[in-house]
């Protein structure tokens, strides 16, 4: 298989420490078990025609404040008190660390002449926080952020938009990296090659193999 011409990388969990560590920090500091938050989101979704509020948040259809209020309202009935959710992003980002070996690799791939894009499901209000964690614009010529384009992974449209904005490499000439399997599967459906990130060593090995042109799926 020929070497890819472009890299499309996820942000959270790929260029950062594992997100579970950040969710654990929020759980420790707020005292709210995270499966309780998951159940609250599912209950809200059920009343709202199956629309998950997290997806609305990530698509920029709901503000962070409104999202946290909604979750607090839902949890209040179950927990018997109104949980303090306003420090969520502060605690979450305090626990989130840059994944230096992966960021170094991204620099190296850019320097080797590959086109570089980031495709992230994110929260509009979090942009200054996540951008401060790495030199985004030095590495990536393109950032497609769900909260600003009204679509989120794994919707095909957001991958198509990324390819359109890269304006050049075909789907088969792109290598997509993400820590969530369904996001990789959706990319593969469109003919984009993928590396499913599990840990730095595994992912860096697979990415190096792919960019050398030796990779085969
Ligand atoms: Mg991720």
Condensed to tens digits (0 to 9), the pLDDT of residues 55-111 reads 999 999 999 999 999 999 999 988 888 888 888 889 999 999 999 999 999 999 999
Domain ranges of the chain: 6-17+98-211, 20-93
Tokens, residue 117: 């894009």
Which residue in the block uniquely carries the two structure tokens 């996820």?
10
Tokens, residue 170: 């075909």
Question: With 70 as the cut, is the pLDDT of residue 149 above it?
Answer: yes
Cβ neighbors of 113 (< 8 A, separation 6 or more) are: none
Banded pLDDT at 146 (limits 50, 70, 90): very high
pLDDT tens digits, residue range 7-38? 999 999 999 999 989 889 888 888 888 888 89
Question: With 70 as the cut, is the pLDDT of residue 120 above it?
Answer: yes
pLDDT tens digits, residue range 159-168? 999 999 999 9
Q: Is residue 193 helix, strand or coil?
A: strand
pLDDT tens digits, residue range 168-215? 999 999 999 999 999 999 999 999 999 999 999 999 999 999 999 864
Over pLDDT 70: what percentage of the chain? Answer: 98
Q: Cα of 98 to ligand 1 centre, how many Å?
A: 13
Which residue in the block uniquely carries the two structure tokens 């090659």?
193
pLDDT on residue 43: 94
Q: Cα of 81 to ligand 1 centre, how many Å?
A: 32
Q: Cα of 18 to ligand 1 centre, how many Å?
A: 9
pLDDT on residue 87: 85
Q: Cα of 204 to ligand 1 centre, how many Å?
A: 16
Distance between CA 175 and CA 201 in Å, rounded?
17
Q: Cα of 180 to ligand 1 centre, how many Å?
A: 6
First to last CA, the chain: 9
Strand partners, 142: 117
pLDDT on residue 195: 98
Q: Cα of 212 to ligand 1 centre, how many Å?
A: 24
Torsions phi, psi for 194 (to 5 deg): -135, 155
Question: With 70 as the cut, is the pLDDT of residue 139 above it?
Answer: yes
- CATH level 3 topology of 6-17+98-211: Rossmann fold (3.40.50)
Q: Cα of 77 to ligand 1 centre, how many Å?
A: 31
Q: Cα of 181 to ligand 1 centre, how many Å?
A: 10
Which residues make up the environment of ion ligand 1, defined by Cβ < 5 Å?
Answer: 10, 12-13, 179
Torsions phi, psi for 159 (to 5 deg): -75, -40
Tell me the CB-side half-sphere exposure of residue 135, using CA atoms within 13 A.
Answer: 8
Q: Cα of 86 to ligand 1 centre, how many Å?
A: 23
Q: What Rg do the C-alpha atoms of the chain give, in angstroms? A: 18
Question: With 80 as the cut, is the pLDDT of residue 216 above it?
Answer: no
Strand partners, 144: 119
Torsions phi, psi for 6 (to 5 deg): -145, 150
H or E stretch at 215: none
């Amino acid at each position: 298989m020929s070497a890819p011409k472009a890299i499309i990388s996820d942000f959270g969990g790929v260029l950062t420490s594992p997100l579970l560590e950040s969710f654990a920090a929020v759980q420790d500091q707020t005292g709210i078990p995270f499966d309780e938050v998951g159940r609250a989101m599912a209950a809200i979704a059920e009343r709202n025609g199956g629309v998950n509020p997290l997806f609305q948040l990530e698509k920029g259809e709901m503000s962070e404040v409104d999202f946290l209020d909604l979750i607090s309202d839902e949890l209040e009935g179950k927990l018997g008190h109104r949980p303090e959710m306003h420090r969520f992003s502060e605690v979450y980002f305090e626990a989130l660390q840059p994944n230096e070996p992966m960021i170094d690799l991204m620099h190296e791939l850019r320097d080797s002449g590959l086109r570089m894009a980031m495709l992230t499901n994110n929260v509009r209000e979090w942009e200054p926080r996540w951008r401060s964690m790495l030199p985004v614009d030095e590495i990536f010529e393109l950032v497609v952020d769900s909260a600003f384009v009204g679509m989120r992974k794994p919707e095909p449209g957001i991958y198509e938009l990324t390819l359109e904005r890269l304006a050049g490499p075909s789907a088969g000439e792109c290598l997509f990296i993400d820590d969530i399997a369904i996001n990789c599967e959706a990319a593969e459906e469109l003919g984009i090659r993928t590396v499913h990130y599990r840990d730095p060593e595994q992912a860096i090995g697979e990415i190096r193999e792919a960019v050398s042109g030796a990779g085969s799926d």
